[in-house]
Amino acid sequence: MHQSHVTQGRNAGLGLALVSAFAFGGSGVAAKPLIEAGLDPLHVVWLRVAGAALILLPVAWRHRALVLRRPALLLGFGLLGVAGVQALYFAAISRIPVGVAILVEFLGPALLLGWVRFVQRKPVTRAAAVGVVLAVGGMASVVEIWSGLAFDALGLLLAFGAAVCQVSYFVLADHGSQGDDAPDPFAVIAYGLLVGAVALTLVSRPWDMDWSVLAGQAALGTRDVPAWVLLGWVVLVATVVAYLTGVLAVRRLSPQIAGVVACLEAVVGTVFAWVLLGEHLALPQIVGGVLVLAGAFVAQTAKPGSAASAHAAEPVIDPIPEPVAGREHV
C-alpha cells in the first residue's frame, strides 16, 4: 500500500513538472510579439512578475504570518528563484547569443546534482546523472550551439548566474517541504513574486514603459492579436500556473529530477515558436529535443542505489534538512 502511494505521488509530481515545463515554455512565444511591438524585454518581465504577484496577493495576505516565520526563504526565493533567473537571463542575451544563454542557464540541473553530491554530501544515482548528460547534450543540439558563438566573458558570467539562480529555485522550493512546519507552497510563490516584483521594479524602471503598446495589436505569426491577450497568457499561464505547478512538482519529486524535466521548457518553447511564429525546426533541433525527452525520462525513473535498498520506495534524494538550532531558516 505504501509503495502504491509513493508511486502515485511520483506520477503526480511528474505530471505537475510537465505542466510547469509547458507553461514556462509558452512564455517566450507570447512575450516575443510584445517585445517586437515596442516593449523593452525587462518591462515584459516586470509586467509578468508584477501581474502574477497581484493575482496571488490574497494568498500572501492569508499567510502573512509567514513573513515573520520564514523571511529568508521568501527573500531568497523572490530574489533568486524569480527575479534573479529572469533579470540575469535578459542581461545575458544582450551580450551573447540567445542559444548560448539558454544552454548555460539550463546547466542548472547539472549544477543541482553537484550541490546535492558535494554540498549536501548525498548520493545521486547513475540514472539521474545520465539523464542530466542527455538533457544538456540535447539542449546543445536544440539551440545549435555550434552555429556561432560570441564568448563575451561578462555575458557568459551573467548566463551562469541565471543557472545558479535556477538551482536556487529548485533547492528553495524543496526546502522545508516535510514536517508540520512546512510553509504552504502557494504562500512561498506569492511572496516570492512580490519580492521579485519589487526587485525588478528597481531594475526595469516601469515608469519609463510605453504603456500604449498594451492597448494595440501584436503580431503572433501571421495574425494580429490584442497585446493584452498575450500579456494575460504570460501572467496567468506562463507565470502563475507555471510557478505553482513547478513548486508542487518539486515537493513530489526530488529537486534534481524536477530540474531535468524542466529542461523540456526549451523544447516546448521551440515547438511553440515553430507552430505559432513560423520559426521552423531543423533536424539537429528535433534530434536534440528527443535527447532532452530521453534525459527527462531516464532521470525521473531513477531509483535508489544499493545503499538505500532498504528504503527503495523513498525518493532518491531526501528533502533538504532543516537547519540546526540557532541558524536562520533559508
Query: Cβ neighbours of residue 223 under 8 Å, at least 6 residues apart?
Result: none
Sketch the domain layout of the chain as residue ranges: 2-311
309: how many CB neighbours lie within 10 A of its CB? Answer: 9
Specify the range with the lowest mean pLDDT, choosing from 1-5, 46-50, 114-118, 130-134.
1-5
What is the per-residue pLDDT across 256-287, written as a single tens digit (0 to 9) for each?
Answer: 676 667 767 777 777 777 778 777 767 877 78
If phi > 0 it is left, if psi is from -120 to 50 it is alpha, else beta; for residue 278 that is left
Which has more confidence, 158 or 93?
158
Q: Is this prediction's pTM over 0.75?
A: no
1: how many CB neighbours lie within 10 A of its CB? Answer: 5
Which has more confidence, 207 or 106?
207
Specify the pLDDT at position 301: 58
Query: Does 330 have pLDDT greater than 70?
Result: no
What is the per-residue pLDDT across 6-17, written as a single tens digit (0 to 9) for each?
Answer: 566 677 778 888
pLDDT, the chain, mean:
76
Specify the pLDDT at position 207: 92
What is the per-residue pLDDT across 40-92, written as a single tens digit (0 to 9) for each?
Answer: 888 988 999 999 999 999 999 999 888 888 888 889 889 988 888 888 877 77
Query: Does 324 have pLDDT greater than 60?
Result: no
Burial of 265: CB neighbours in 10 Å, binned 0-12, 13-18, 19+: buried
261: how many CB neighbours lie within 10 A of its CB? Answer: 28
Query: Does 230 have pLDDT greater than 50?
Result: yes
Closest-CA residue to 132 (of 256, 284, 303): 256
For residues 211-223, one letter each, b for 16 or more C-beta atoms within 10 angstroms of the residue's C-beta and e for the rest, the string is eebbeeebebeee
Helix (H/G/I), strand (E/B), else coil: 302: coil
Specify the pLDDT at position 283: 81
What is the per-residue pLDDT across 157-189, written as a single tens digit (0 to 9) for each?
Answer: 888 888 888 778 777 766 655 555 677 878 888
Average pLDDT over residues 29-35: 84
Specify the pLDDT at position 317: 33
Nine-digit cell string for 292: 532532452
List C-alpha distances in Å: 258 to 53, 83, 245: 23, 20, 11
What DSSP string describes 211-277? GGGGGSEEEETTEEEEHHHHHHHHHIIIIIIHHHHHHHHHTTS-HHHHHHHTTHHHHHHHHHHHHHH
